[in-house]
Amino acid sequence: MTISIYDTLAGKKVPLETIEPGLVKLYVCGITAYDFCHIGHARSALVFDMIVRYMRYRGYKVKFVRNFTDIDDKIIKRAAEQETTCEELSERFIAKFREDMAQLKVDDPDIEPKATEHVPEIIEMIQELIDKGMAYPADGDVYYRVDRLKDYGKLSGRQLDEMQAGARISVNEIKENPMDFALWKSSKPGEPTWDSPWGPGRPGWHIECSAMSRKYLGDTFDIHGGGKDLIFPHHENEIAQSEGATGAPFARNWIHHGFVTIKDEKMSKSLHNFLTIREVLADHHPEVLRLFMFSTHYRTPLDYSEQALHDSALGLERLYSCVAAIGELSGSVGGTSAISAEDREKISGLVKRFVQAMDNDFNTAHGLGMVFETVKDLNRIRQQLPSDPAAEDVEFLQALSCKIRELCRIMGLLTEPAAEYLKNRQQGELAGLAISSEEIEKLIAERKQARLEKNWGRADQIRDLLLEKEIELKDSAEGTTWKITKKG
RNA sequence: GGCGGCGUAGCCAAGUGGCUAAGGCAGAGGUCUGCAAAACCUUUAUACAUCGGUUCGACUCCGAUCGCCGCCUCCA
């Protein structure tokens, strides 16, 4: 069995075949740093975090590069608006991005190069393209000669003439062909600028990724990733630049993830329908957001709603509760063994089924289904355990519980001690309520006394009183516990 | 206009050319409980947008239709 991935270039699922056995070279387009990141950016980070973790879980070494674009039209514009420098602005938002990633517990890539730190490599590549006749200087700019690459458009499935028939192409008198795109832009006064053979200027939008991926991963590497909206023109142009300059194939496989939508529309600044990562994290545990993201396949659009996050929070609690309950079990040698061979076999198949699901283009939704199915079985078995469970049974359940944690960790789930998570969740929610845990405990003690006296009226009264304050009581043999009620 | 994707139960969401169409949330009944809650058990799609075609057999392949969305301009 091997991992199969949906490759945008091939237009179908292909087996992962790395250039060097056992090593995956991965380049992902990171953010343009000029504003806070929204949850669409979070999806990108989370998806590739999961993909890298899964490939490592499956035994691959992964060299993961994700860049920062820190020079660009939007950055220049925003810096001017805020009366600051491009450098200050981009550094500020790179720092914010790092904070967001830390909150989400996203692992750092191996290399995080910045465009402004690779201007010599960029200039060198542009010069190669000019030397090969693939690009031409014009008035201090340099443009890529799009019709010189025979298969331009192969990634996005477009033909040059079809695109030219479209209405929305920027008119620019100095270009030979309206589809030609800028590799180098001459700088206006006050803009960041670097010296170049074509005069002072700055890199165009796409060239930095070509130059940086080449530097860190070589002319040809395994996988290039990003959001679906980057397919055209960004990734198409990267291919044109890199293959035009090196003559070698660029990335072998392309992974593109879907968007986060709100009310089924793509989040975007112009529609004002985006939520920043920090806004969402203010109200939701990072693992809740992760479970939400991974309950849908990465290529499918994901519609954000508070209801969906709420459902995910319950799902996560279900996972943690199962792990916590199993952690509390203890068995004894010579105790009663009660787990059937059938159950043992079924549950033991979890890892195999999970891997099958994930090998199929990182189908986390399916993989999570396998985990939840096992949780259901584990809960049932635990409930049916005799009062003197055998040590071997308890060990079996605990071993499975460990497996669940191990698999969930690929998605960044169940990373906290279960009891702690459940307790923190409770206290976090309590902060928003009009009652303290001391008061609750006091009422529980009073109710316990009432129940001993079989004063059911008073006992129920206390329970209802707490319920009004959104506290739900649970009686069990070990005593009474409480939790916040699940409200909408 | 060009290119691409999607349409599965109340909601979210996997999946397969034929074997019981995963899982989560919500709902119903039950076990447990003084009564509850939690947990567990059972249950909830004669059916996978519509219409045709291929096939012994399609939700799964092909074509058309309708609806939704994305890219073609900055975008994760």
- Give the nucleotide at minimum CA-to-C1' distance from A72: B74
**Residue nearest B13 (alpha carbon to C1'):** A296
Give percent of chain A with pLDDT exceeding 90. 68
Q: Is A142 in the same domain as A266? A: yes
Question: A275 versus A433: which is more confidently predicted?
Answer: A275
Q: Which of A385, A400, A423 is the last residue before a domain boundary?
A: A423
Cβ contact A163:A179 at 8 Å: yes
Between CA A293 and CA A291 the distance in angstroms is 5
* Band of residue A485 on the pLDDT scale cut at 50, 70, 90: low
Q: Is A405 in the same domain as A448? A: no
Task: Tell which residue, A198, A84, A180, has the closest CA to residue A139.
Answer: A198
Q: Is A293 in the same domain as A259? A: no
Model confidence at A487: pLDDT above 50: no
* Band of residue A268 on the pLDDT scale cut at 50, 70, 90: confident
- What's the mean per-residue pLDDT of chain A? 91
Q: Is A296 in the same domain as A247? A: no
Which nucleotides of chain B are near protein (any atom < 7 Å from a CB)? 1-6, 11-16, 22-26, 33-41, 68-76
What does the pLDDT read at residue A388? 86
Q: Is A405 in the same domain as A464? A: no
SS3 A182: strand
Report the alpha-carbon angle A400-A401-A405, nearest 5: 115
**Residue nearest B5 (alpha carbon to C1'):** A300
What does the pLDDT read at residue A256? 96
- Give the nucleotide at minimum CA-to-C1' distance from A322: B39
- Give the nucleotide at minimum CA-to-C1' distance from A375: B23
- Give the nucleotide at minimum CA-to-C1' distance from A73: B74
Q: List pLDDT tens digits, range A321-369.
A: 999 999 988 888 888 888 888 889 889 999 999 999 999 999 999 999 9
In this structure, the strands spanning A201-203 and A251-257 are unpaired
Count, residues in chain A: 488
User: A479: domain range?
Assistant: 433-484
Separation in Å: B39 C1' and A257 CA: 38
Q: List pLDDT tens digits, range A244-264.
A: 999 999 999 999 999 999 888
Question: A415 versus A483: which is more confidently predicted?
Answer: A415
Task: Tell which residue, A421, A368, A35, A27, has the closest CA to residue A224.
Answer: A27
Q: Is A191 in the same domain as A234? A: yes
Question: A170 versus A432: which is more confidently predicted?
Answer: A432
Separation in Å: B22 C1' and A350 CA: 13
Separation in Å: B51 C1' and A387 CA: 61
Q: Tokens for A186?
A: 């001459």
Q: Which of A423, A456, A473 is the last residue before a domain boundary?
A: A423
Separation in Å: B46 C1' and A366 CA: 26
Supply the CATH number for residue A61's domain.
3.40.50.620
Predicted ipTM of the assembly: 0.94
Between CA A216 and CA A25 the distance in angstroms is 9
Q: Is A395 in the same domain as A473? A: no
Q: List pLDDT tens digits, range A432-475.
A: 666 788 888 888 888 988 988 889 989 888 888 887 777 778 88
**Residue nearest B74 (alpha carbon to C1'):** A74
Q: Is A243 in the same domain as A169? A: yes
Does A329 map to a domain?
yes
- Give the nucleotide at minimum CA-to-C1' distance from A231: B71
Q: List pLDDT tens digits, range A45-104.
A: 999 999 999 999 999 999 999 999 999 999 999 999 999 999 999 999 999 999 999 999
Q: Tokens for A150?
A: 């025979």
Does A428 map to a domain?
no
Cβ contact A62:A223 at 8 Å: no
Q: Is A168 in the same domain as A237? A: yes
What does the pLDDT read at residue A338? 86
Q: Is A260 in the same domain as A295? A: no
Q: Tokens for A286?
A: 């990072």
Supply the CATH number for residue A352's domain.
1.10.730.10
Separation in Å: B58 C1' and A195 CA: 64
Separation in Å: B37 C1' and A420 CA: 22
Domain count along chain A: 3
- Give the nucleotide at minimum CA-to-C1' distance from A225: B76
Q: Which of A423, A442, A474 is the last residue before a domain boundary?
A: A423
Separation in Å: B73 C1' and A61 CA: 39
Amino acid in the structure at residue A94: I
Cβ contact A293:A302 at 8 Å: yes
